Structure 1
Amino acid sequence: MSTNQTPRIRPITLLSSGHACVDVYQGAVAALVPFFVSERAYTYAAASGIVLAASLLSSVVQPLFGALTDRWALPWLLPVSTLVGGAGVALAGVGDSYPLTLLVVAVSGLGVAAYHPEAARVAREVSRGSHTAMGWFSLGGNLGFAAAPLLVSAVIATGGLRASPLLAVPALAGAALCAAALRAVRTPARATAAARASLATGRDDWPSFLRLSGAVGCRSIVFVGLSAFISLYARQRTGGGDLSGTAALFVLYLGGAVGTVAGGRLATRFGRLPVVRWSYALTVLAVAGVVFAPGPSFHLFAALASAGLYVPFSLHITLGQDYLPRRVGTASGVTLGLAVSVGGLASPLVGAVADATSLQAALAPLIALPALGWLLLRTLREPGLPRAAPGGPGPGAGAARAGHE
């Protein structure tokens, strides 16, 4: 790898840390669900409506922000959107109004939506296309997810939902980190334009990108369904109390941090698509274990499900960007945003089934979705290769990976 292709470590570290602060607010909404159920006596359907509110606006506007970042660099979005995302969650516990709660978590979702396409674009430029560097950027978000249930539990279990304004602290830190990252990556306009032009080569492959997005959507529904209800379900399956539920959500999120780093390393060695396919296959078995395994093994299967869901996480982003090299912002907005947020759109259905039957019956259909994702991925080829066998990356994949280590 030549010197000018070497990822810039300090900006990636700052971007990853800022990403962690932003994604606290994606994880915080699901972590608040058990407290809404216990303090406000929400039904499963009403509680999952909170998750929907955070996801719906985010899903609608995320491609718009992606398209905007394809036309113009909007670095100021990073600190501003971080503050907006934090403000919405901080206000979620203030007052008892259900419509107001829906509104403020929707505002939080808007902030999260505005952040991700521009952050992924900046991270791609700084990483020089490195899978491993993008893995570290994604790791920050996963650590934020993992920290969310611990942070929410510490604040809300101590002070109740009315203590939610304290949850604004990560947003303040994240805005400062984003500002520092932008100062670290600041380059002359001519150099920035050259960097963007060097990455925007090749032809957009929309059919492959849409199949990838469909698979990411399947993964999203599984992840959001589990994250919204695994705390409540863990109490039923293990016979534990609040601690058991918080531990299950923490395992689900923390395993993602390990899986994300492993995904970048595995892709360097075996190729992105084989790693992604095997991850989806593992997820089928792991989710089945979460739904049906008894007692102590529950948390083990939660960890396996987390790995299966997160090993391909950063690979989705780089694959999407490589399938649409001329629309990196749009690709990032979909793979990192829209296809991920779509899981929240399905959460009220999971909640309604749980109210009508049981949580186990509501979660059981999630087992089939990773299998559907695997089918969508089965015939994809590595971006830039003329063809690929269904079971592998195809001829020349090693050469295609060489520049992304």
Structure 2
Amino acid sequence: MKKGQLGFLAGTHVVNDLYQSAIPAMLPFLMTQRHYSYAAVSGLAFAASGISSLFQPLFGVLSDRRSRPWLVPAGFVTAALGVVAAGLSGSYLVTWLCVALAGIGIAAYHPPATSQARAAGGSSQKAMSVFSVGGTIGGSLAPTLVTLVIGAAGFSSSYLLAVPALVMAAMWAVKGPWMRWRGHTPATPLAGAGAGAKAGEPERGDDWRAFGRLVVVIVGWSIPYVTVTSMVSLHAQRDLQQSTAAGAAVLTCYTAAGAVGTLLGGWIGDRHGRMTSVRLGYLVALPALAGIALAPTFWLLVLCTVTFGVAMFLPFAAQVTLSQDYLPHHPGTASGLTLGLAMAAGGLCSPAFGWLADGSGLPVVFYTLVGLFLVPVVLAVRLPDRVVPAAPTVSTPKPAEAVAANDAG
């Protein structure tokens, strides 16, 4: 494990996903200050996540064909530009286009960064969870940052949200010891695939059928995750009569719980196998989601939301490495599809849930999510595991070892 490289990539993930989560954090302010409806703010969620779903697989294919590490800083800088411009815009159409631009930047970042993180961490689930938790930490910081900037000074101060991206872009330009790319590059198949397989091992081809099943699971994961992210703060304010600050707090707890779940899932994956973290996460998330729908008090809502956040991210790192092992010849494509769908499929459904909320209220939205979530839960517990061996490490023998090898020969 290349800890310096992995840690730096996790830092870029903090910044990138901060802007991904800044958009849901802005929605309550858009409703109160610009008087947008549920359908309007759901349309913005679609612009961020749904547009990203169209572009992220494309960036994954590009990463498989040739290493493009510059997409990492270009992605989070573009995301920052879109978020800042959306805050400064006064027109809904321009705001929608700016949010879509942020979604394209987020899409550009994930495939190359995830492939580089897998190269830095090897086959360790804990390593991938460290990279993934960077994103969830960024997501947990977004509501607080947006509340401090926009809540205190209004949308005219949105330019301050660009500071994290500018700092990380400067660090990327300097690079230093973090960026010593060695071993697998995004354009190279994982070890164990084709020519990378060890002598005597069967060639590991792409298993598109198993990957397709995983995609269905991730789509089913995405819809409740994105919808809860977009509406749990509004649910606390509108249905449980809480303040804007309390709504932001429950969203912060939700995203922070995701960070805990990501690290815990990596630990469980290394100790007990990654399929354990996948199955446990889905089985715990289902009753927690029902608790969000039924919670009669604010503190019970917080408890259920935190539990749901932890459970939803237990399988996150495992799903990424599993997708790459299903498609060892196309790790960038696997990363692009899994991470893209992880946020984007829910965004595609956001307008429909916005219309449902406008017509029937937020509780009905959460009841509907519980029913839909049954499908990925059933499929997740039946997913097959598949392990592609890590690249062998070749070391130069010491003189004594060389002599012993010669004597043995």
Same fold (TM over 0.5): yes
3-state SS of the aligned residue for 1:381? coil
Residues 1:51 and 2:45 are matched in the alignment = yes
Distance 1:194-1:289 versus aligned 2 partners, 3 A rule: closer
Q: Counterparts of 2:174 and 2:10 in 1: how far apart (Å)?
A: 12
Out of 275, 293, 313, the position equivalent to 1:310 is 313
Question: How far is 1:274 from its partner?
Answer: 2.4
3-state SS of the aligned residue for 2:86? coil
Q: Is the 8 A contact 1:48 1:348 kept in 2?
A: yes
Question: How far is 1:367 from its partner?
Answer: 1.0
Q: Counterparts of 2:185 and 2:293 in 1: how far apart (Å)?
A: 50
Question: How far is 1:182 from its partner?
Answer: 7.9
Out of 265, 268, 282, the position equivalent to 1:266 is 268
Q: Counterparts of 1:243 and 1:353 in 2: how far apart (Å)?
A: 25
Question: How far is 1:158 from its partner?
Answer: 0.8
Aligned to 2:154: 160
Aligned to 1:341: 344
Q: Counterparts of 1:13 and 1:96 in 2: how far apart (Å)?
A: 38
Amino acid in the other structure paired with 1:60: L
Q: Counterparts of 2:176 and 2:335 in 1: how far apart (Å)?
A: 19
Q: Counterparts of 2:68 and 2:177 in 1: how far apart (Å)?
A: 14
Question: How far is 1:166 from its partner?
Answer: 1.1
Give the total of aligned pairs.
380
3-state SS of the aligned residue for 1:379? coil
Q: Structure 1 vs Structure 2: percent identity of aligned residues?
A: 39
Q: Is the 8 A contact 1:200 1:326 kept in 2?
A: no
Q: Counterparts of 1:338 and 1:179 in 2: how far apart (Å)?
A: 30
Q: Deviations over 1:64-94 (max 9, x none)?
A: 1101111100011111111101000011121
Aligned to 2:217: 215
Aligned to 1:277: 279
Select between 286-295 and 267-276 the one with higher mean Cα deviation.
Answer: 267-276
Question: How far is 1:114 from its partner?
Answer: 0.3
Aligned to 1:389: none
Question: How far is 1:240 from its partner?
Answer: 1.7
Amino acid in the other structure paired with 2:10: S
Q: Counterparts of 1:356 and 1:193 in 2: how far apart (Å)?
A: 50
Question: How far is 1:197 from its partner?
Answer: 4.8
Question: How far is 1:286 from its partner?
Answer: 0.3
Amino acid in the other structure paired with 2:5: P
Structure 2 unaligned blocks of 5 or more: 194-203, 393-409
Aligned to 1:144: 138
Q: Deviations over 1:134-154 (max 9, x none)?
A: 110000000000000000000
Alignment root-mean-square deviation, CA:
2.0
Aligned to 2:245: 243
Question: How far is 1:173 from its partner?
Answer: 2.2
Question: How far is 1:200 from its partner?
Answer: 5.5
Q: Counterparts of 2:128 and 2:181 in 1: how far apart (Å)?
A: 20
Amino acid in the other structure paired with 1:127: G
3-state SS of the aligned residue for 1:93? helix
Out of 20, 28, 32, the position equivalent to 2:14 is 20
Distance 1:102-1:269 versus aligned 2 partners, 3 A rule: same
Select between 313-322 and 192-201 the one with higher mean Cα deviation.
Answer: 192-201
Q: Deviations over 1:243-281 (max 9, x none)?
A: 210111001100000000000001112211122112111
Q: Counterparts of 2:371 and 2:175 in 1: how far apart (Å)?
A: 41
Amino acid in the other structure paired with 2:191: L
3-state SS of the aligned residue for 1:168? helix
Distance 1:136-1:31 versus aligned 2 partners, 3 A rule: same
Q: Is the 8 A contact 2:292 2:366 kept in 1?
A: no
Aligned to 1:395: none
Q: Deviations over 1:159-195 (max 9, x none)?
A: 111211111111112323444568633347xx55699
Q: Is the 8 A contact 1:12 1:126 kept in 2?
A: yes
Out of 381, 384, 396, the position equivalent to 1:381 is 384
Amino acid in the other structure paired with 1:302: T
1:5-404 matches, within 5 Å, as: 7-179=1-173, 184-187=178-181, 196-197=188-189, 199=191, 201=193, 202-295=204-297, 296-384=299-387
Q: Is the 8 A contact 2:116 2:185 kept in 1?
A: no
Q: Counterparts of 2:300 and 2:47 in 1: how far apart (Å)?
A: 33
3-state SS of the aligned residue for 2:89? coil
Q: Is the 8 A contact 2:189 2:328 kept in 1?
A: no
Q: Counterparts of 2:16 and 2:262 in 1: how far apart (Å)?
A: 17
